[in-house]
């Protein structure tokens, strides 16, 4: 790109940014602020010559989610240990790695960031991050809503010193905040002694996580500087943590406000100019309709977390009834070109229950919670505006969550667990699997007792040597699940019908069988993915699938071929078939 063209392109970027800024900050000097953002990103001297694919993902992609210290070896930096594990065990499986917050932090396992510009020395150095980014697409958290009460900015706030003195929200403790939606039960406002007297600061999540004041445009400029830093160290996917809570407006619920959506659009404009291959993913653990809004008109998030999937899939396998899952999938719009769903069924957090409000009734949600407590899980709560409490999320390892049904434990834990992943891998969208799911990790109750945090139950730290011994032991359920799950992923990765944007239709096969039809975009492969979601054998009549008689059909998972298209398959408890008219390469 020659200098004149680049200058013209920069002018167009400035104009786009000004349009965003007029909606976010009506009183600001939009031209000056747009130039400050361009400078913060380093966009003046940056251009990407290669034209990227319209959709920078395909059926081969899988993101594995992990903390930087999920696997440890004595005398070795955890990030180095993690990289070596990924190279050896997941090099042919994972294309991307989401390393959860790897910054110095004072609480919440990294999400109370003390210093955005440093790697936690207990994990490693920036060189370790860059080494991972050299071999995998690296996803990192932009903890955008709040920072630590021990951060330099908050120390400046307490001292009345710039710039931090203007980076946080001081609120009237006598104000009316009953409409404010929150995911926690602590008090919204935290009293703080400052050089200017007592102030009450806004804390959506905890009193150690103080919300940043995006009404001050300089906070936005600071965040763009942080984005540039992460880009320089190899990050190519940004997870916008808790972004739905970003903007606060007196008299509103302070959730999903217009300014919040416009900030996401502005960040999309900036990173797309810097490099169109960079992705933004919004983390919005909220009801389904509100979550979908973060696609915008294809101009906000490249991908949104499919938050309704984990609790709906859990409900399906606990009850043996897929109707709620099926109705939800039928109502989900296909993602627009250039956007996709991020599908997951377990993460470092719990299984959120807000995303199934309106999809499951109160009794169904209560039944899930009660059963998960019986399986060793914990329940985290949120405050309602009128002063009540409601279950917010279930904290449990996914492997332990699958140990039975509403009737209690049974012998089908491993089959049920693999069935859940097979359903997720067949869905439209980009799959992400939590490392502890790949390893079939149990509940870590000792860690909960040590931290006092329910979420610690699914944040186990493995000793690398002990883990590798288990993965080599054929009698270990860790070995069995890891082998079968990675084989399942690798089969998916070869099928063009499982491209994240390939055609999808939900099949009507009754409440016991959940089924999808996927078709590759060039229409040369069809896959009928059908799962028995019960603990009883179930018949699948092939005639109900309308298979084309001129094609040869084979189950990709078992290798079984089917020539009698009027015949019947008896699906064992939790068995999944992927019936394809041709196998991928």
Sequential DSSP letters for 149-218: TTSHHHHHHHHT-TTGGGSB-B--TTS--TT---S-SS-SEEEEEETTEEEEEE-SSBTTEEEB-TTSHH
CA 474 from chain centre, in angstroms, equals 31
- The CATH number that domain 64-140+258-363+398-498 falls under is 3.20.20.80
* Helix ranges, 91-160 (H): 126-135, 152-159
Pairing of the two strands 303-305 and 340-343? parallel
Residues 59, 63, 64, 66: what is their CA dihedral angle, to the nearest 10 degrees? Answer: -170
Instruction: For residues 575 and 570, give the distance between their C-alpha atoms in angstroms, rounded to a whole number.
Output: 9
Place of tokens 């600061």: 201
Model confidence pLDDT, tens digit, residues 550-585: 788 999 999 999 988 889 999 999 999 999 998 876
Provide CB contacts within 8 A for 53, sequence distance 6+: none
Complete edge-to-edge strand list for the sheet that includes strand 526-532: 503-507, 513-519, 526-532, 576-580, 553-555, 561-562
Instruction: For residues 517 and 525, give the distance between their C-alpha atoms in angstroms, rounded to a whole number.
Output: 11
User: Where in the chain do CATH 3.20.20.80 domains reside?
Assistant: 64-140+258-363+398-498
Instruction: For residues 41 and 349, give the distance between their C-alpha atoms in angstroms, rounded to a whole number.
Output: 31
* Nearest by Cα to 291 from 248, 220, 240: 240
Catalytic residue among 141, 241, 400, 444: 241
User: What's this model's pTM, rounded to 2 decimal places?
Assistant: 0.95
Sequential pLDDT tens for the chain (585 residues): 444 445 568 999 999 999 999 999 999 999 999 999 999 999 766 655 445 556 889 999 999 999 999 999 999 999 999 999 999 999 999 999 999 999 999 999 999 999 999 999 999 999 999 999 999 999 999 999 999 999 999 999 999 999 999 999 999 999 999 899 888 888 999 999 999 999 999 999 999 999 999 999 999 999 999 999 999 999 999 999 999 999 999 889 999 999 999 999 999 999 999 999 999 999 998 889 999 999 999 999 999 999 999 999 999 999 999 999 999 999 999 999 999 999 999 999 999 998 999 999 999 999 999 999 999 999 998 777 666 778 889 999 999 999 999 999 999 999 999 999 999 999 999 999 999 999 999 999 999 999 999 999 999 999 999 999 999 999 999 999 999 999 999 999 999 999 999 999 999 999 999 999 999 999 999 999 999 999 999 999 999 998 888 788 999 999 999 988 889 999 999 999 999 998 876
Helix H or strand E encompassing 504? strand 503-507
109 is catalytic: no
Instruction: For residues 581 and 585, give the distance between their C-alpha atoms in angstroms, rounded to a whole number.
Output: 13
Q: Is residue 215 classed exposed, middle or buried when 0-12, 13-18 and 19+ CB atoms within 10 A define those classes?
A: middle
Q: Are 422 and 482 in contact (CB under 8 A)?
A: no
Model confidence pLDDT, tens digit, residues 104-127: 999 999 999 999 999 999 999 999
The token pair at 434 is: 């939590």
Binding residues for substrate: 108, 146, 239-241, 348-349, 455
Provide CB contacts within 8 A for 183, sequence distance 6+: 204, 205, 285, 354, 382, 392
Name the CATH code of domain 503-580 (choices 3.40.50.970, 2.60.40.1180, 3.40.50.620, 3.90.1150.10): 2.60.40.1180
Model confidence pLDDT, tens digit, residues 457-468: 999 999 999 999
User: Where in the chain do CATH 2.60.40.1180 domains reside?
Assistant: 503-580
Cα–Cα–Cα angle for 125, 234, 261, rounded to 5 degrees: 115
């Amino acid at each position: 790109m020659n200098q004149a063209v680049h200058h013209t392109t920069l002018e167009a970027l400035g104009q786009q940014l000004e349009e965003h800024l007029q909606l976010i900050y009506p009183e600001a000097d939009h031209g000056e602020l747009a130039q400050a953002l361009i400078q913060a990103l380093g966009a003046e001297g940056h251009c990407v010559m290669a034209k990227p694919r319209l959709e920078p993902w395909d059926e081969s992609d899988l993101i594995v989610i992990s903390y930087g210290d999920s696997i440890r070896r004595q005398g070795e930096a955890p990030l180095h240990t993690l990289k070596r594990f990924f190279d050896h065990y997941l090099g042919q499986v994972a294309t991307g790695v989401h390393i959860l917050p790897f910054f110095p932090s004072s609480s919440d396992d990294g999400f109370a960031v003390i210093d955005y510009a440093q790697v936690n020395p207990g994990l490693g150095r920036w060189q370790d991050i860059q080494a991972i980014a050299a071999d995998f697409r690296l996803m990192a958290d932009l903890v955008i809503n709040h920072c630590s009460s021990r951060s330099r900015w908050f120390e400046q706030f307490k001292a009345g010193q710039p710039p931090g003195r203007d980076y946080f929200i001081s609120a009237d403790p006598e104000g009316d905040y009953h409409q404010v939606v929150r995911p926690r039960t602590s008090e919204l406002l935290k009293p703080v002694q400052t050089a200017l007297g007592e102030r009450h600061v806004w804390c959506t999540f905890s009193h150690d996580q103080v919300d940043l004041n995006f009404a001050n445009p300089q906070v936005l400029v600071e965040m763009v500087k942080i984005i540039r830093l992460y880009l320089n160290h190899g990050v190519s996917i940004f997870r916008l943590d808790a972004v739905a809570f970003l903007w606060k407006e007196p008299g509103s619920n302070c959730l999903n406000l217009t300014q919040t959506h416009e900030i996401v659009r502005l960040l999309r404009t900036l990173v797309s100019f810097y490099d169109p291959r960079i992705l933004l993913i919004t983390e919005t653990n909220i009801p389904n309709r509100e979550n979908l809004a973060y696609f915008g008109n294809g101009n906000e998030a490249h991908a949104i977390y499919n938050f309704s999937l984990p609790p709906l899939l859990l409900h399906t396998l606990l009850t043996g009834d897929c109707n709620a899952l099926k109705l939800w999938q039928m109502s989900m719009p296909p993602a627009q070109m250039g956007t996709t769903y991020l599908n997951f069924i377990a993460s470092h957090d719990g299984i959120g229950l807000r995303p199934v409000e309106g999809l499951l009734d109160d009794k169904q949600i209560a039944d899930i919670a009660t059963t998960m407590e019986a399986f060793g899980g914990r329940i985290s709560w949120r405050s309602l505006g009128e002063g009540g409490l409601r279950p917010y999320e279930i904290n449990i390892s996914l492997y332990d969550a699958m140990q039975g049904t509403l009737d209690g434990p049974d012998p089908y834990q491993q089959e049920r667990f693999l069935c859940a992943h097979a359903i997720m891998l067949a869905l439209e969208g980009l799959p992400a699997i939590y490392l502890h799911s790949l390893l079939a990790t149990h509940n870590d109750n000792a860690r909960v007792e040590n931290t006092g945090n329910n979420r610690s139950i699914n944040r186990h730290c493995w000793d690398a040597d002990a883990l590798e011994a288990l993965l080599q032991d054929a009698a270990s359920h860790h070995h069995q699940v890891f082998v079968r799950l990675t084989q399942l992923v690798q089969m998916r990765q070869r099928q063009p019908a499982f491209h994240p944007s390939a055609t999808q239709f939900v099949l009507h096969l009754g409440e016991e069988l959940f089924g999808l039809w996927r078709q590759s975009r060039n229409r040369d492969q069809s896959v009928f993915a059908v799962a028995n979601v019960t603990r009883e054998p179930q018949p699948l009549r092939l005639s109900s699938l309308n298979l084309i008689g001129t094609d040869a059909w084979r189950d990709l998972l078992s290798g079984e071929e089917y020539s009698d298209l009027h015949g019947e398959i008896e699906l064992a408890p939790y068995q999944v078939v992927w019936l394809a008219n041709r196998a991928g390469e």
